[in-house]
């Protein structure tokens, strides 16, 4: 059975799922056995593979930001 037929979709994450994802990452450290399965259970409607892929995309984005590959927005001074 594909992951999309199990009700999850790696490209569509609700704000609630993202919050659960963040909370689960704080709870289950890198050395936690079966980390991605536990995170997936906490998120709901996502497979272990989907949450791991979501994490890897997040890490990639953070690395791009920290390396300066993503420009900072030009916020206007409100005064």
Looking at domain 13-66, its CATH superfamily turns out to be Homeodomain-like (1.10.10.60)
Amino acid 36: pLDDT: 98
What digits encode the pLDDT tens for the residues 14-67? Answer: 999 999 999 999 999 999 999 999 999 999 999 999 999 999 999 999 999 899
Three-state SS for the chain is: CCHHHHCCCCCCCCHHHHHHHHHHHHHCCCCCCCHHHHHHHHHCCCCHHHHHHHHHHHHHHHHHHHCCCCCCCCCCCCC
20 or 71, which is more confident: 20
pLDDT of 3 above 50: no
Q: For the whole model, what pTM was predicted?
A: 0.73
Amino acid 8: pLDDT: 46
């Amino acid at each position: 059975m594909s992951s999309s037929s199990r009700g999850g979709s790696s490209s569509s994450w609700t704000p609630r799922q993202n919050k659960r994802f963040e909370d689960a990452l704080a709870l289950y450290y890198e050395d936690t056995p079966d980390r991605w399965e536990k995170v997936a259970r906490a998120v709901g409607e996502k497979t272990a593979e989907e949450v791991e892929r979501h994490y890897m995309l997040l890490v990639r984005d953070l690395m791009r930001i920290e390396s300066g590959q993503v420009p900072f927005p030009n916020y206007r001074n409100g005064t």
